Amino acid sequence: MEIKFSSKTLNKLLLVFFVFGSLFISIRLLLIGSAAASNAGQLVISLLPEIIVLAVCGVFFSINFKKEQKLSIHLMDWLIVSYIILSVAYGLIIGKDLKIGLYGFRITYLPMLFYFVGSFYTSSKQDSERLIQKFFQWFLAIGFLGLIIYFLFFDFNLSMLLKVSSTIHEYFIVRLTSIFWSPVVFGTFSSITFLYFFYKSLQSTSFWNYLFQIILFTCTLMSMSRGAMIGLVLGVIVLTVLSKFWKKMLITARLMMVTFLPLSFYIDSPQTVIQWMVSSTANTIQIKKGDTRSDLSRSAIKEIEKYPFGHGLGKAGHVAVRFSKTDEQHANQDQLSENSTDGWFVKLACETGIIGLISYFMITIILFVFCIKKIRKTEFDFFSFLLTVFLVVNIQNLVSNVLDFYLFSYLYWFLIGIMVFYLKFDKKYENT
């Protein structure tokens, strides 16, 4: 008997993935800890998110690739699939290490499959917006839960952080992580979710949207993640310019200021927090010696100069750090770029060389051109929010490995796919 799936099945499975994926980190820490899987049972548990990813892809292919189904293919679809195939093949060939290569594929290229789930979305634009709204409502709930854990169950918070690392890193305070147990990942989710509800407040005035912004701004600030904070501010500017709703933006700006003052006193003082933000950001931009992130970037750039064609798939970024510390076979390898953990573009160049970096830039520029053409023809709508996410994340890629962040990379590539779905929809509409 043939099993038939519908777009509703796919939507539910996508929601299950992001909900379970958010809870999975805590589940894994409590059952296994942060170490690599040491037996078959632990391996299965560790691969549960990827198993759901395969289920999503299976349902997606079942719905889309039917004999009577005619697919709408955009130039971006060809570019993305070509980029994935060529980057993975090239990375594996020059890396000459299948084990590390598979880990590299898992963290960077497997999430890109969600681009196609979005680009070939099987329902309407309205359904895609409703689904994405559910995603962000869930991430809002995670932010609220994080505040509860932080202020009411602080000892539990510390115990979970110690399961991740033997050292708890602080910027004035213990950084807020919620159930991601990583301040940079949580900060990124919080800032993008803030931008979603800011977009909603620009569309229609609602007390709840402003309340949600206060919660999410608090989460972003207490994560003490500079990239997330800068991304949030830049996103607000971009959405305001696109919408031209200046008065509504001023309401949000006032709320941010009112929220910032008491929080900054809790952290240390307004002057100290602002000074830290400005000086640390300036040091990063100037690649100033003595700043940890700048030192890593400078070392990574030297590696790019030495190995312009890259080290190979998985031999840069967090995967390289993992294998250099936990795997004796790879501990002393020269071609493991452990310094490329703060800047996704740098990591990309260390992994697949200047060729891989230029290829990504070309695809990004082409997509940006398509987006600008659409924005000029249409009014402020959900596509404007998607474009903002696209811009903010790629700016953050300069100083952070955002597109290697667990779970967030899947969300990003799905949203980019939905962008292209909108482009296809408009083209189809124009041709009718």
Binned at pLDDT 50, 70 and 90, residue 295 comes out as low
Q: Using N-to-C axis directions, what is the helix angle for 408-430 and 125-152, rounded to 10°?
A: 160
Half-sphere exposure of 202 (CA within 13 A, CB side): 27
What's at 189, amino acid-wise?
F
CA distance 319 to 289: 25
Which phi and psi angles does 337 have, rounded to 5°?
Answer: -85, 90
In which band, very low, low, confident or very high, does the pLDDT at 114 lie, cut at 50, 70 and 90?
very high
Compute φ and ψ for 174, nearest 5 degrees: -65, 125
Q: Which residues pair with 337 in a beta bridge?
A: 316
Q: What is the pLDDT of residues 389-428, one digit of tens each?
A: 999 999 999 888 899 888 999 999 999 999 999 999 776 5
* 8 A C-beta contact, residue 210 and residue 259: no
Please state, for a pLDDT cut of 90, what percent of the chain lies above it.
Answer: 65
The pLDDT score that the predictor gives to residue 170 is 83
Point out the least confidently predicted range of 2-6, 154-158, 333-337, 390-394: 333-337
> Which helix or strand (DSSP H or E) is residue 26 part of?
helix 7-31
The Cα–Cα gap between 56 and 363 comes to 25
* Region 258-278 average pLDDT: 92
Q: Residues 245, 237: contact at Cβ < 8 Å?
A: no
For residue 199, what are its two tokens? 């977009």
Nearest CA to 158 out of 133, 184, 181 is that of 181
Angle at 35 between CA 32 and CA 41, to 5 degrees: 45
Q: How confident is the model at residue 303 (pLDDT cuts 50, 70, 90)?
A: confident
Average pLDDT over residues 241-261: 95
Q: Decide if pLDDT at 233 tops 90.
A: yes
345-391 per-position pLDDT tens digit? 989 999 999 999 999 999 999 999 999 999 998 889 999 999 999 99
Q: Which residues of 251-276 are buried (b: 16+ CB within 10 A; e: fewer)?
A: ebeebbeebbeebbeebeeeeebeeb
pLDDT reported for residue 432: 42
Is the pLDDT at 67 greater than 90, yes or no? Answer: no
Q: Assess contact for 181 and 169: CB atoms under 8 A.
A: no
The predicted pLDDT at position 333 comes to 52
Statement: residue 296 has pLDDT above 80: no
Q: What is the pLDDT of residue 192?
A: 98
What mean pLDDT is predicted for residues 100-112? 93
Residue 331 is predicted with a pLDDT of 47
pLDDT given at position 286: 62
pLDDT recorded at residue 320: 81
The Cα–Cα gap between 96 and 163 comes to 33
